[in-house]
Amino acid sequence: MNYRISHPSKKINGTIELTASKSESNRALIIQALCEEEFEITNIAKAQDTETLKEILYTPGLQTIDVGPAGTTMRFLTAYYATRPGVRILAGSERMKQRPIGILVDALNQLGANITYVEKEGFPPLRVEGRTLKGGEIEIDGNVSSQFISALLLISPALQNGLVIKFKGEVTSRPYINMTLKMLEEFRVYGVWQGNAISVSKQAYHKKSEEDYTYNVEGDWSSASYWYAIVALAEEAELVIKGLKNPSLQGDAIVADVYSFFGVKTEYIPDGIKLTKVRVKDEHFGFDFSDCPDIAQTVAITTAALEIPSFFNGLQTLRLKETDRIVALQNELKKIGVEVEIRNDNAIKIIPPDSLQKPSFIKTYDDHRMAMAFASLALKFDSVIIEHPDVVKKSYPGFWNDLKKLGFVVEEV
């Protein structure tokens, strides 16, 4: 199945109730499972990854667990089950078997876990034998996925001797780590940065004392990036997005600052934000996405569509996502005449042509972000065809319906 996306007027006006944050929801679910006091999570994400994690955590007695393509779920559950009695096999999709997890497994085993590989060394599936972990001090490269660090931090209150993570080199994706630390604080577990290390003493999760306490998940700023792209590429635009906060726990809230370069004004309102298109474009653009890699694809497509020469770095984690996102961008932007020059695993240069050409179709590579980010091109051309559009269910199941609310025509072809 493919979708043809078009927008007759190229003008955007309306309101969107944004999908909830998958990152925040997944962290809240692990904390809920580890907390001895019961509490409810409201506005939990409907993303496939979150639904998978919730179903697994809410189903007792599972021994063989298939997380499918859910990378965060695999990493968080590896750490979680390392602290829970019993033996479990953690498996996933074929792509999951290609996503390295050795750094996390090595760290957990150093802390006292018993995790072994069922097939290929360093990759899922895993055999996890849960036990009480002694904890202690470990050393990790600072440029590893923040999901590895967050997985360790989420279980840190259960470690007998607490946890100290020392980082070698510069720490990338620091905002995602700080999000985890802030969520720990919400449940009265306190970790501190000490130079280039994080220390968490042995503690216990506790909910706040209000009788009717619930944890309410914020809207997802990385999903908001697609609407920023749409405002940037529209001829005229005024869009209200509900469910976002200022300040936010999420590092991807930086998207508001990034899109100011592309003529998108952000106004914070009581229940969200209001976006207005105020000017056309910048002459050139450069940015380091180390702290916000999930918005890099969307920004790349925006700069390409606005024909702005650009340089992106901090992209080292994009090759290890649902697909190799750097190569996927290179392949699909070539279809509109844009050259993506890969400088190294960390950096790309975007070189627009003299004039853009309409693409025949856009491949999604089983990657939700490819589908949603490229949909914005319907505002630059009479239409764009997106292959396998159902991939959006991984993070934003209602995306296509939300497009329709803003005047987009979404047709199955």
Does 194 score more than 70 pLDDT? yes
Contact criterion met (CB below 8 Å) for 217 and 44: yes
Which residue is catalytic, options 252, 294, 367, 402?
Answer: 294
| pLDDT value of residue 83 | 97
Does 322 score more than 80 pLDDT? no
> What percent of the chain clears pLDDT 90, i.e. is strictly above it?
87
- For residue 209, name the pLDDT band (cuts at 50, 70, 90): confident
For residue 87, the cross-strand partners are: 129
Fold matches, 2-20+218-412 and 22-215: yes
- Other C-beta atoms within 10 Å of 321: how many? 21
Q: What is the mean pLDDT of the chain?
A: 95
Q: Chain-centre distance of CA 280, in angstroms? A: 28
Does 321 score more than 70 pLDDT? no
Specify the pTM.
Answer: 0.91
Does 320 score more than 70 pLDDT? no
Average pLDDT over residues 5-13: 98
Identify the CATH homologous superfamily for domain 2-20+218-412.
Enolpyruvate transferase domain (3.65.10.10)
The correct answer on CATH 3.40.50.1100 for the domain covering 22-215 is: no
Q: How far apart are CA 318 and CA 324, in angstroms?
A: 6
Name the CA dihedral angle for 16, 22, 23, 29, rounded to a multiple of 10 degrees: 130
- pLDDT tens digits for range 72-91: 999 999 999 999 999 999 99
In the chain, domain spans: 2-20+218-412, 22-215
Catalytic annotation on 294? yes
| Percent of residues in the chain assigned helix, strand, coil, to nearest 5 | 35, 25, 40
- pLDDT tens digits for range 20-53: 999 999 999 999 999 999 999 999 999 999 999 9
- Other C-beta atoms within 10 Å of 234: how many? 24
